[in-house]
Amino acid sequence: MTGRASPSFLRIELLSDATFSRGEGTAGVVDTEVECDGFGMPFIGGKTMRGLLRDSWLSMSCHFPGLEQAAERVLGRSQALDESCRLRIGNAVLPAPIRAVIRAAAERQEHPLSPRAILDGFTSIRHQTAEDRETGAPDITTLRSSRVVLRGFVFEAGLSWLAGYQPTVEDLRLLALCALATRHGGLLRNRGRGHIRVTLDGNVEATRKYAEATA
* pLDDT of the chain, 215 residues: tens digit per residue: 445 679 999 999 999 999 998 765 665 567 888 999 999 999 999 999 999 999 999 999 999 999 999 999 999 876 554 567 899 999 999 999 999 999 999 999 999 999 999 999 999 998 876 555 565 555 556 568 889 999 999 999 999 998 888 999 999 999 999 999 999 999 877 677 899 999 999 999 999 999 998 75
Amino acid making up residue 143: L
Contacts for 173 with CB less than 8 Å, ≥ 6 apart: 67, 70, 210, 211, 212, 213, 214
Q: How far is CA 208 from CA 82, 87, 147, 154, in A?
A: 31, 20, 33, 20
Residue 3: inside a domain: no
| Domain range enclosing 61 | 9-129+140-212
The confidence score (pLDDT) of residue 99 equals 97
Provide the pLDDT for residue 1: 43
Report d(CA 211, CA 83) in Å as an integer: 25
Query: What is the per-residue pLDDT for 2?
Result: 46
Q: For 75-182, where are the E strands, in sequence order? A: 87-93, 123-128, 144-149, 154-161
Q: Can you give the pTM of this predicted structure?
A: 0.87
**In this predicted structure, what is the pLDDT of residue 129?**
65
> Is 4 part of a structural domain of the chain?
no
Burial (0-12, 13-18, 19+ Cβ within 10 Å), 30: buried
- List 198's β-bridge partners, or say none: 12
Q: How far, in Å, CA of 50 to CA of 91, rounded?
A: 10
Cα 175 to Cα 172: distance, rounded to the nearest angstrom: 5
Predicted local distance difference test score (pLDDT) of residue 23: 62
135 within a domain of the structure (yes/no): no
Q: Does some domain include residue 134?
A: no
1 within domain boundaries: no
Q: What is the dihedral of CA 137, 16, 179, 10, to 10 degrees?
A: -130
Q: Answer yes or no: is 200 within a domain.
A: yes
C-alpha of 91 from chain center: 8
Q: Is residue 2 part of a domain?
A: no
Using left for φ > 0, alpha for ψ between -120 and 50, and beta otherwise, residue 177 falls in: alpha
For residue 66, tell me if it sits in a domain.
yes
* Count of structural domains, the chain: 1
- pLDDT at position 133, please? 56
